[in-house]
Amino acid sequence: MAPKTLNFITGNANKLAEVQAILASTPVQLQSQAVDLLEIQGTIEEISRDKALRAAAEVKGPVLVEDTCLCFKAFGELPGPYVKWFLQALGVQDFHKLLAGFEDKSAQAVCTFAYCEGPGCEPVVFQGRTDGIIVPARGPTNFGWDACFEYEGQTYAEMAKADKNAISHRGRALAKLVEWLKQEV
């Protein structure tokens, strides 16, 4: 695969750090710009697609964007793309209480990248999903709901970064992106 530079547009430094770490072992070069993009309501794919089109229009060139959802089974897949606002309102220590009235604590972390070649070009979407359960916060609380998402006995926050990246929603989505790039270039 020939080296390829991607311009990852995100306002989230933790996402950027993970994407850098995951792509470090591939020929993909990463650059990044922090642009605060308006996010529409819609399906997961619609949100990422629209985010990519807005980002490409803003920077007038090729872009990669990502939208992360956390879907509770008991909530019929909500809060999904709106999890950021629930987390911001409740804080990570109270986040698990959302599911206090439900037996079923299962959740799925969903990461959807969209790559857009330039303004008006149709974005290509790559998605990764990881199943877990929502628990009271354990581990460092510096990244989103990491401390409340348990996968096979450990929260994302308790895992070594490389271990999280190997099984995470983001790692799985990026594996698909890298496969696609291998075929494209």
Question: What is the Cα–Cα distance from 142 to 166, expressed in whole angstroms?
Answer: 20
Name the residue nearer to ligand CZF (CB basis): 27 or 42.
Answer: 42
Name the residue nearer to ligand CZF (CB basis): 1 or 13.
Answer: 13
Name the residue nearer to ligand CZF (CB basis): 28 or 80.
Answer: 80
Shortest spacing between CB 183 and ligand CZF, in angstroms: 26
Name the residue nearer to ligand CZF (CB basis): 39 or 46.
Answer: 39
* Residues β-bridged to residue 68: 111
Shortest spacing between CB 1 and ligand CZF, in angstroms: 25
Which of 185, 10, 47, 71 lies closest to 125, judged by CA? 47
Both tokens assigned to 76: 């019929």
Which of 175, 173, 185, 179 lies closest to 45, judged by CA? 173
Using Cβ positions, the residue closest to ligand CZF within the complex turns out to be 144
Kindly list the residues in this chain that would bind ligand CZF in the complex (CB under 6 A). 10-12, 15, 39, 66-68, 83-84, 87, 143-146, 156, 170
Spatial neighbors of 123 by CB under 8 A, at least 6 apart, are 48, 49, 52, 53, 114, 115, 116
Both tokens assigned to 97: 């209480």
Shortest spacing between CB 53 and ligand CZF, in angstroms: 14
Question: What is the Cα–Cα distance from 79 to 171, expressed in whole angstroms?
Answer: 21
Shortest spacing between CB 155 and ligand CZF, in angstroms: 9
Describe the crossing of helices 13-23 and 169-184 by its angle, rounded to 10 degrees: 50
Name the residue nearer to ligand CZF (CB basis): 73 or 84.
Answer: 84
Shortest spacing between CB 67 and ligand CZF, in angstroms: 4
